[in-house]
Structure 1
Amino acid sequence: MSQLEKVKELIALREKARLGGGEKRIEAQHAKGKYTARERIAIVLDEGSFEEFDMFVEHRCTNFGMEKTKFLGDGVVTGCGTIDGRLVYIFAQDFTVIAGSLSETLAMKICKVMDMAMKVGAPCIGINDSGGARIQEGINALAGYAEIFQRNILSSGVIPQISGIFGPCAGGAVYSPALTDFNIMTEGTSYMFLTGPKVVKTVTGEDVTQEELGGASVHTTKSGVAHFSVENEDDGLSLIRHLMSFLPSNNREETPRKECTDPISRMDDLLNDIIPDNPNKAYDMYEVIGSLIDSGEFLEVHAAYAKNIIIGFARFNGQSVGIVANQPKYMAGVLDINASRKAARFVRFCDAFNIPIVTLVDVPGFLPGTAQEYGGVIVHGAKLLYAYGEATVPKVTVTLRKSYGGSHIVMSCKQLRGDINYAWPSAEIAVMGADGAVEVLYAKEIKADPDPVKQAEAYAAKKDEYNKLFCNPYNAARYGYIDDVIEPRNTRFRVIRALEQLRTKHQVNPAKKHDNLPL
């Protein structure tokens, strides 16, 4: 064979590999409203930047006649490319090849790009669309999953890991996305569950559809497994690019900075009036966030899950930050099990990747009740406490209104190594609100007077006395627990100046093998 013929053979083999499972299966994939693996990679990466690895890999299984069914690439497309000029590694499961099922060699391909990502310190993106383990390979398929999971674990906190669930992801396959930092699911075409509807029916007798069991809406509103839900794959792939713009490439880098055209000294008079005079009346924390950050650009994470707390990425003077904020408009901003878990994981992610944390506080306490206590709200609340306490990144806290009891401590207080703690004049920092405090302190004294009118007067007087003593920011400021009481409309400038002050912060936790946070 001449050199020219060898080149022609190479070109033909490449064309064959790019067809995956063949044109009919590609058409079937498109008919479901789904892109192929290669199309997804082409959309998410910068044009022309993709470098593919292991295009000619084939599986080695001979069980059940599998030696007669072989495809170049074996069900996954792997390689590297760039997003906005920054290196990333990527793999995309190819459903057109044996339903994207995981074989020993398919796992080997994924592990190779994960190892490369760790070696050079670049993010790893995984696009999942697979029928699960390749049953014909038996234990080798399970071993392949375990190899991937081990790399997910070792990569955690070292490089950002992002998963796109754009098709089925069932059984053991769900653990890889669960171990990554962010999961994105498409509505109507993706699902995740450990056991499918048929097994559920057999074991429990429960009739449930795939969508009801593990669709995007379930995992973004009820379980919290997924961080984002998108209408279609185009939105999901665009979201991956947008998310990457806020993240460093690894844990040794600083967050990327973006040119800021929004004046750092911009004041918003709306903030001076946004807190209602009635402490029991709600306002929208999104308005506060939008007013403070650069150009109102906020990428919310877990938007539909535990809405009583808001988390997400934004920028102050072009610097990427993580925002954690109580939402008074939903459940009065109270902390509960789901809100604590949601915020704690986000705080730990930010800390792992050198992303400063800005916390906006308006929290009346923890949600009471047997459901919360039986569900372990103590342990889950401790997760958020632990996350803030161990974080060594710059931490700026602004208390807007309520900050009571244990929830005050949990929300990045000064004693949890909060670097700069500000408060608005409307802040109420105390063990509890006036109503509860008067009940505890003066109930017997007030009820001793048989006259209801005098009881009401005494109650009002004691409540007013308590408010003057404790339900304000100045008592905490007197002890240095609040660094300054600031005018609300000047908050943006004060936060930016605090972050600039903390740019060279260096803090190290005690040496240890690892921590033992309350899981």
Structure 2
Amino acid sequence: MRVRIAAGAADEEAAAIAAALADHVGETVEVFVGEETKPTAVHDTSSGRDRRIDDGSNAGAEPVDGGADTELGPTDRERRLEEEIDDIHAGGPEKYKDQLSDEGKLFVRDRLELWFSGSDNALRFEDGTFAAFDDWHPRGAGTDSAADDGDRLPADGLITAAATFEGRDVHVMANDYTVKRGSMAAKGVEKFLRMQQRALKTGKPVFYLMDSSGGRIDQQTGFFANREGIGKYYYNHSMLSGRVPQICVLYGPCIAGAAYTPVFADFTVMVEGMSAMAIASPRMVQMVTGEEIDLRELGGPQVHARESGSADLVASDEEHARELVAQLITYLPDNADETPPRSDSKPPANPPAEIDGIVPAEPNRGYDMLDVVSRLVDEGSLLELRPDYGTEIVTAYARIDGRPIGIVANQPTQRAGAIFPDAAEKAAEFIWKSDAFNVPLLYLCDTPGFMAGSQVEKDGILEQGKKMIYATSSATVPKQTVVVRKAYGAGIYAMGGPAYDPESVIGLPAGEIAIMGPEAAINAVYARKLGAIDDPEERERMERELREEYREDIDVHRMASEVVIDELVPPSSLRDELAARFEFYADIEKSLPAKKHGTIL
């Protein structure tokens, strides 16, 4: 408190007033005399001492209490606060911290140091450090009173902060696994919700560094079913979806409610040897179904990378997880109102002149589409997502001439590039996310179309194919489509064909566009006529002629002649052609019909 009294008052009078007021209001009081800009007397409630400020006019004066002048600075009160903060930062009981090294993972504060230290990185400030403080830390009893207590709840086991990551401002949440195994309770839930709600206001990305066993069952009152309880996480995830990038890294078992955060995130990284996520623990699974299974088999990284598709990337260790996120965020803007950051252009790892030699003329011969991609994109810029799931389609971020792009490419090495249900689902989600964050799309088409058969029907080929076509149709970012080789059936629709409003459809010399391939077409149209030919040699000759005639009809040159495609280009110039087209169409405006939203996804 600051008080000003009339000019002419003596120093002793100022000191007496300061002491009396301080005792009355319970806080430090500064007394100013007349128009003086410095206080004449200060009474500090923490020390109970009076101080006079010597500005040269009080030469020879002594403090009221007869002691030496005391300089302003940290008091015992502040020092106690710093000790309490240090105690909170120490985390849970030491026995739990000791277990972390056995599991190959870092203590949460060390993890934050790994992520947010060094050039272009900083942990800016933290919120809710003292959450649940009164529930475990008896104030005034000393910082060591609960040091080995299993009921320690520093920060309620969850850290929320603002940080700078690789030069980008982000919101951060991190579980402290030493506190009740990273479980969530009322105060931690409140911190989590506040962080999400603030991210909606700031328009900055959110990082979830997850290591949680789920809700704290023995403390569920007050956070589980409440309007502002743990269920609100997923409402906020949904509101943030498509607004700002949400990136989740899993460092341990995330079970039940905790497992929804990684699947709601736009991008999820699991760490080999330590991560897992599942709707229920192995113990609960056995109780409900009788199935005996360990956590790794139930929901480990390989399960979600290969089978469910819930993991976008799998890291080998903690350092690798950070590296993957550092690369991923370079392709993404801070929010949906911005465009992805450009980088300096780099030449491709391999010369574009080799592309034509990679792509076979025969439509049924396999080759690796990534060999084509490496000759189109800037060296070192390729980041493939979900590489082990739906492998018939490649989804990846990369750069062409420094510009971030999203690549959707058929993979002829995998079942001839036919589109299976999981591949269609993967592509649809990737297209949807890329469009949300203004990442232009490049389709590299070489597919016989959607796979047929009883099993894929049971697996939902129509349902998942519908989603891929819908995502392609609704994307408003610049789209370029390249017919690398075969584009048969509805495959050309899903892969951004002429009917789907791409900015360009470009053909390479081996390209073919048709309802179906030559073999299937001849069998469908001429099966009866060919079957009537008894001479095998004559039948083979007829089949060959029909096949050649059909291929002439579907050849990309015919498509260019009829202006089905926009341009037919030499493969060695494809990179330059794409760079020019993405640059030219960078600011294109597209609109969708007025509606609340579509019903497909």
TM class by shorter chain equals over 0.9
Is 1:349 aligned to residue 428 of structure 2? no
Task: Return the match for 2:161 from 79, 87, 92.
Answer: 79
Superposed displacement of residue 247, structure 1: 0.8
Q: Distance in 1 between matches of 2:531 and 2:598?
A: 50
344-353 vs 439-448, greater mean Cα deviation: 439-448
Amino acid at match of 2:264: L
- For the pair 1:375 / 2:459, whether they are aligned, the reply is yes
2:419 is aligned to 335
Question: Structure 1 residue 210 and structure 2 residue 283: aligned?
Answer: no
CA distance in structure 2 between the partners assigned to 1:68 and 1:358 by the alignment: 54
Aligned to 1:49: 122
In 1, the alpha carbon distance for the partners of 2:276 and 2:478 equals 37
* 1:425 alignment partner, SS class: coil
Look up the match of 2:5.
none
Shift of 1:70: 4.4
**Can you list the C-alpha shifts for 1:466-500, whole angstroms capped at 9, x where unaligned?**
11112x11232234331101101111000000101
Please say if residues 348 and 377 of structure 2, whose CA atoms lie closer than 8 Å, have aligned partners that are also in contact.
no
Matched, 1:511 2:591: no
Secondary structure of the residue that 1:269 maps to in structure 2?
helix
Verify the 8 A CA contact 2:92 2:152 in the aligned structure 1.
Answer: no
TM-score (norm 2): 0.83
1:173 maps onto 2:258 in alignment:
yes
Instruction: Say whether residues 1:225 and 2:310 are aligned partners.
Output: yes
Which of 556, 559, 564 lines up with 1:476 in the alignment? 559
Determine which structure has greater relative contact order: mean sequence separation of CA pairs < 8 Å that are 6+ residues apart, divided by chain length: 1
1:90 — aligned with what?
A: 172
- Report the equivalent of 1:114: 196
1:17 to 69, 80, 88: 88
8 Å Cα contact 2:348-2:376 kept in structure 1: no
* Cα 1:325/1:59, change in 2 over 3 Å: farther
Q: Give the drift of 1:68.
A: 9.3
* Post-superposition offset of 1:351: 0.4
Partner in structure 1 of residue 108 of structure 2: 37
Distance in 2 (alpha carbons) for counterparts of 1:263 and 1:290: 6
SS, match of residue 516 in structure 2: coil
Paired residue type of 1:198: R
Partners of 1:28 and 1:447 lie apart in 2 by 73
CA 1:494–1:506: 2 relative to 1, 3 Å: same
Counterparts of 1:311-460 in structure 2, within 5 Å, are 311-460=395-544
Change (3 A) 1:142 1:292: same
Q: Check the 8 A contact 2:243/2:436 in 1, yes or no.
A: yes
Distance 1:58 1:479 in 2: 71
Q: Using the alignment, how far apart are the partners of 1:219 and 1:61 within structure 2?
A: 38
For structure 1, which runs of at least 5 residues remain unmatched after alignment? none
Instruction: Give the letter aligned to residue 35 of structure 1.
Output: L
Q: Does the 8 Å contact 2:275/2:300 carry over to 1?
A: yes
Q: Shift of residue 514 of structure 1? A: 1.8
CA contact (8 A) 1:111 1:147 kept: yes
Question: What is residue 214 of structure 2 aligned with on the other side?
Answer: 132
Distance 1:60 1:16, change over 3 A: closer
Instruction: Tell which deviates more after alignment, 505-514 or 351-360.
Output: 505-514
CA distance in 2, matches of 1:335, 1:465: 27
The amino acid of 2:177's aligned partner reads F
Q: Partner amino acid for 2:85?
A: R
Which residue does the alignment assign to 2:277?
192
State which drifts further: 138-147 or 318-327.
138-147
Within the candidate set 494, 500, 510, 2:583 is matched to: 500
Contact 2:348 2:379 in 1 (8 A): no
Structure ID, larger Rg: 2
Contact 2:93–2:152 (8 Å) recurs in 1: no
Q: Partners of 2:346 and 2:411 in 1: how far apart? A: 28
- Indicate if the aligned counterparts of 1:134 and 1:141 stay in contact, CA closer than 8 A: no
Identical counterparts, % of pairs: 33
Offset at residue 296 of structure 1 (A): 4.2
Q: CA separation of 1:360/1:403 partners in 2, compared to 1, >3 Å: closer, same or farther?
A: same
Counterpart code for 2:173: F
Higher helix share: 1
Check the 8 A contact 1:290/1:297 in 2, yes or no: no
For 1:231 and 1:187, the matched residues in 2 are separated by 5
Cα-to-partner distance string for 1:53-75 (whole Å, 9 max, x where unaligned): 1111117879xxxx993423110
Residue 230 of structure 2: SS of its match in structure 1? Answer: helix
| Matched residue SS, 2:396 | strand
CA distance in 2, matches of 1:19, 1:71: 11
Deviations 1:315-367 (A, max 9, x none): 11111111111110111111010000001000000100100001111011111
Do residues 103 (structure 1) and 185 (structure 2) align? yes
- Aligned partners of 2:157 and 2:176 also within 8 Å: yes
Corresponding residue for residue 142 of structure 1: 224
Equivalents in 2 of 1:103, 1:26: separation in Å? 20
**Closer, same or farther: CA 223–173 of 1 in aligned 2, 3 Å:** same
Q: Sort the Cα spacing of 1:32 and 1:302 in 2 relative to 1 into closer, same or farther, 3 A.
A: same
- The whole-number CA distance in structure 2 between the counterparts of 1:261 and 1:388 is 29
CA contact (8 A) 1:21 1:96 kept: yes
CA distance in 2, matches of 1:140, 1:182: 30
Cα distance in 2 between the residues matched to 1:37 and 1:91: 11
Quote the Cα distance in structure 1 between the aligned partners of 2:282 and 2:107. 26
Pick the aligned partner of 1:252 from 337, 359, 363: 337
Decide which moves more: 99-108 or 17-26: 17-26
- Residues 377 and 125 (structure 1 numbering): CA distance in 2 closer, same or farther, change over 3 Å? same
Code of the aligned partner of 1:53: D
RMSD, aligned α-carbons: 1.9
Deviation of 1:215 (Å): 0.3
